[in-house]
Amino acid sequence: MAFNSILIVGGGSAGWMAAATLIKKFPNKKITLVESADVPKIGVGESTLAFIRDWTAYLGIDDKDFIKHTNGTYKLSIKFTDFYDKDYGGFHYPFGNPSEIDDINYNDWQLKKIYYPETHSSDFAENFWPTMALVNENKLSTNEDGSFDDFRFDYDTAFHFDSLLFGKYLKDHYCIPRGVNHIVGTVNETPTNENGIDKIVLEDGTELQADLYVDCTGFESLLLGKALEEPFVSYRDILPNNKAWAVQVPYTDKEKELEVYTNCTALTNGWVWNIPLWSRIGTGYVYSDEFISDEEALQEFKDHLNSDKMTVHNPNRVTDELNFRHINFRTGIHKRIWVKNVLAIGLAAAFIEPLESNGLLSVHEFLLEFCRHVDRPVINQFDRDVYNARIRRFYQNFADFVALHYALSIRTDSNYWIKNRERVYDPDIGNSYSGFNDLYVKKTDTLRHFGKAGIVCIANGMNYNIYTEVDIVKDELGRQVNQRDFCERFLYNRHNKMNQWKTAAKSQLSAYDWLNQNIYNSKDTNTND
């Protein structure tokens, strides 16, 4: 297969990310995007992971310009509130590199947990990540003076932004100026031949042909799923959530509520995301209809929005003016996402669920991986097979990573939590995709991995300690040191380091002030723009 023309079917974030990536990779090829004006747009606040930095760097996108056009903010971590137990509080999975001192490692914090069992799991990230000092103070810093060790602002941060504005930004400021052809039209027919898709026929009779078709049609998966009938592998056996309520709410106190992290709060029958954008908060409730009805879920969500679980408690936050939108989704991945002359991207290819901000992760990672496989003048079936295998392994491992947040919970306040933690995660039985052991021990052997840091943050946050009294005896023999004495040295060193970070953080601008001064130059009243 050789291709000189590419047709992207579907717009939105996935479609325009595909167009931007492919016009960057293939500046001399004919690239066209066709999208319908009739497709409903959700427009939720989008939360990303720091891995998006690889993609923005590849495209050469400027942070400040991109953020200003997308109502965006910066993100330093993800907070998980009450996932371990009801009313337990939260812990963080921060971005960036952990700080190392001498030969101290993660196990040494678990040693502290053994000797001081009252230590809250949130203490783990605070001991190792300098960014947690900024998170706790709700501050931003470019770290030009090195106060926060190896924290790299332009690499160890992610973004919150409006997904609709994001797609529009890529269209108007990147794709169209570089030559992407934009067509507005509704797909009516997708006839096939032995090579895959033969052509796209629009409702007005227009016929479009290309060498490569990129399916960005969302859950409909018009090309890969419907036309080519590629089987879909469901993840619902380990990830049962399939619905969400979403809404945009105004700020009550912008300086407090514009947080530098995504807050995920576990409720009785699911969990709520909270994504602070510049002018408003995007929030939503993710749940499974196996355990609660849509109406009950909406009421539980509204009760949460008016509760003291919000950063600023406002019993009048829910009003008749708020537009609650209902979303249905499926979890899983097509058996192959590159089949013949069709490549599926975004929801058309796969989806897990919103936890761990993975919505756009698959988009930019699938696209970058595709770019790694198409440098030869002719693409063979072997190239497709390798690509599909690597993508499948990456996504299966990520599904396990997300499932870990439920599997380690000890909540007993509903069947939702009880049944989720009792699900079997065993690859030999066939209802897990790589297994917890593969997730924890072999995670580095994947396409794109979170390293041990991500896994250990979640495990320690859920009070799953891999270091035990048995290991203390073993390490005392190996290190030739009394482990309690070693623990005290750890506490002394970390205490001093954490104090340095805290002092540095207090002198930084709040997230609101930093964004206002460096990007928005707004004169708002600290509530709504």
**What does the chain come to in residues?**
529
In whole angstroms, what is the distance from residue 362 CA to residue 354 CA?
12
In whole angstroms, what is the distance from residue 406 CA to residue 424 CA?
12
Three-class HEC string of 397-465? HHHHHHHHHHHCCCCCCCHHHHHHHCCCCCCCCCCCCCHHHHHHHCCCCCCCCCHHHHHHHHHHHCCCC
Q: Considering the candidates 29, 41, 75, 523, report the single residue annotated as catalytic.
A: 75
Q: How far is CA 231 from CA 140, 144, 227, 240, 275, in A?
A: 45, 50, 11, 19, 34
| Residue 79 is among the residues annotated as catalytic for this protein | no
CA angle 52, 53, 57 (to 5 degrees): 120
Cβ-count burial 289-310 (b if 16+ within 10 Å, e if not) = eebbeeeebbebbbebbeeebb
- Name which of 223, 236, 424 is nearest 328 in CA terms: 236
What is the residue-wise DSSP string for 25-60?
H-TTSEEEEEE-SSS-----EEE--TTHHHHHHHHT
Q: Which residues are catalytic?
A: 75
